[in-house]
Structure 1
Amino acid sequence: MEGVVANVRYWLVEHPTISEFQWIPHQTYGASTQFLTTIILTYLTLTGFLHVTLPKSPTSSTPFILRLISTVHNLILLILSLTMAVGCSLSITSQIPTPRSLFCFPNPTPPSGPLFFYAYIFYLSKILEFSDTLLILLNPIKRLTFLHVYHHALVVLMCYLWLQYSQSLFPVALVTNSLVHTLMYAYYFLCSVGKPPRWKRVVTDFQIVQFVFSFGVSILLLWFHFGDKRGDGCCGMKAWGFNAIFNASLLALFMNFHFKNYGVKGREQKKKKMKGVCIG
């Protein structure tokens, strides 16, 4: 058992590619504002174009090829999300010297090492998740929402700021978000193979709990930042400010989504709809 744990730790934390990682602006792939701006604007432009131009099919079933692509897509993101959750958790034990550092990086903290490697993979994975939108647009029984597009576009900016400014508290956010996405893509994977589970509401509930939890742990961050007698504070506080505002907006949108889908009226409308509509 010790040998298995040692191998896992080596491949997920101690491997030179991971342990020696450095985020270098304008050198690391994706580490520039030009790349960030281009990728977000391209996503929004293509989403708007396809939303308007793709024909609305009257069919009530999902084509086989789309289900197959969705299955592979969801399985990849399921495995990736679980790997990031485990890898970042192990990296915390090796790169975080004190409990305080988990919530408040010393100022300054260079964006290097295994924690920032997983922040980088997380950043790239959010770009990969843009394909979620394409699958929704191609699916005749799914409808694109503002919450979906808003979340997918701005989360990439949030992840970029984690790396660019060595934002404090991001390891906690990365682990919790990856765990939620592991559950979410497990749900979508089961849907895509024709076995939709009955716990769709649990996914939304966990997403809401994640945002509430993020505000709870942010209290510790603020306490450490403003209580620092040396005046150094915590690293990346401006990036954290954007993160906090973004999370607050997402919480409001998810609460609205939860009410519409799981409130009394939402449950009545849901009964009238077809079962098994859950490709992601």
Structure 2
Amino acid sequence: GSALFPNPFLLYQRLGGATSLVLNLGGLASEASQNPPVFMGKWPNTSFSHLFLTLTVLSYISFTFVLSQLSRPSLSRPLFKSITTVDNIFLLTLSFTMALGCLASNFSQVPNFKNLVCFPRGTSPSGPLFFWAYIFYLSKIVEFIDTLLIILSGSMKRLSFIHGYHHSMVVIMCYICLESAQSSVPMVLVTNCVVHVVMYTYYLLCTLGMHPKWKKIVKDFQLVQFRLSFLIMAVVVFYHFTASGCSGILSWCFNGAFIVSLLYLFSTFMPRVTPPMPTSS
């Protein structure tokens, strides 16, 4: 119906294919501004959406627990390397595409700096930006594959509580952000996708046996993202209490609490476990 996002095949045709989306930022921005019907999908705020979220997260937690307890099939090293390579290439391409799409949508839909961090009250989760926010939400479900790869690799030390908590809560957080049209979404989406481009590029090179020497840069990018998250939250508070208020402020509070909890868990358990790559979204 009209309340749902556009048919992905129609979107593909209107954009001229995924290649043009990735390579032609100017063309994407033009498409977003001149052909709004393609992007005017609305967040499907229905009982089905809530059920989908609930079943998805519960299934992830259940399957992760069950699979971690069972004897796992032994994959040959070449097969596992091939699966991991495909996964990294897909997530790298998806992150890059979302970064460009979000950036172009910011130019076409966000009129000024204030709206980058503070949507007006009553903002509807629709239009180009929230289309990409919806794709971003679905991408976090796709990232559950990371957990499966850890289990198949036999590196159970990496399957920590922090890993499962991070992956499951990010999906919930993205859903709440969408449903409430949370302020700061424009900046959060772009920064998070850029960090993931760097992260999955590094993972891909490691999988291919190159082992680049800039691992520290990946960690530095993640730390910058965390710090930027707190800066954005401070700006949201400023605009919320000095102007007419910001959209999705309760969702913003949940987001802030989640980030604080991640920082606490990382600082507490990092000496003993290998944490998942943090994702503020």
Unaligned ranges ≥5, structure 1? 263-280
Structure 1 residues 204 and 257, CA, compared in 2 at 3 Å: closer, same or farther?
A: farther
Gaps spanning 5+ residues in structure 2: where? 1-22, 275-281
CA distance in 2 between partners of 1:71 and 1:98 (Å): 40
What is aligned with 1:226? 241
1:19: Cα distance to partner?
A: 2.3
Q: Which residue of 2 aligns with 1:50?
A: 67
Q: Does residue 237 of the first structure (1) align with residue 249 of the second (2)?
A: yes
The question of 1:189 aligning with 2:204 is answered: yes
Aligned to 2:8: none
Residues 225, 234 of structure 1: 8 Å contact kept = yes
Q: What letter corresponds to residue 42 of structure 2 in structure 1?
A: Q
Deviations 1:202-231 (A, max 9, x none): 322321221111101211110110112xxx
User: What is the CA-CA distance between 1:176 and the residue it aligns to?
Assistant: 0.9
Give the match for residue 20 of structure 1.
40
Contact 1:103 1:221 in 2 (8 A): yes
Normalization by structure 2: what TM-score? 0.82
Residue 253 of structure 1 pairs with residue 273 of structure 2: no
The residue identity in structure 1 corresponding to 2:94 is L
* 1:198 matches 2:210: no
Q: Check whether the contact 1:104–1:225 (CA below 8 A) recurs between aligned residues.
A: yes
Counterpart Cα distance in 1 of 2:58 and 2:115: 35
Aligned to 1:170: 185
Give the 3-state SS of the residue equivalent to 1:239 in structure 2: helix
CA distance in 2, matches of 1:169, 1:110: 14
Moved more, 3-12 or 89-98: 3-12
Rounded Cα–Cα distance in structure 2 between residues aligned with 1:172 and 1:129: 21
Deviation at 1:252, TM superposition (A): 2.7
How many residue pairs get aligned? The number is 251
Q: Which has the larger radius of gyration?
A: 1
**C-alpha contact 1:102 1:172 (8 A) present in aligned 2:** yes
- Residue deviations 1:112-131, cap 9 Å, x none? 01110111000000000000
2:17 maps to which residue?
A: none
Which one-letter code corresponds to 2:202 in the other structure? Y
Alpha-carbon distance in 2 for matches of 1:4, 1:53: 47
Question: Residues 152, 249 of structure 1: CA spacing in aligned structure 2 closer, same or farther, 3 A cutoff?
Answer: same
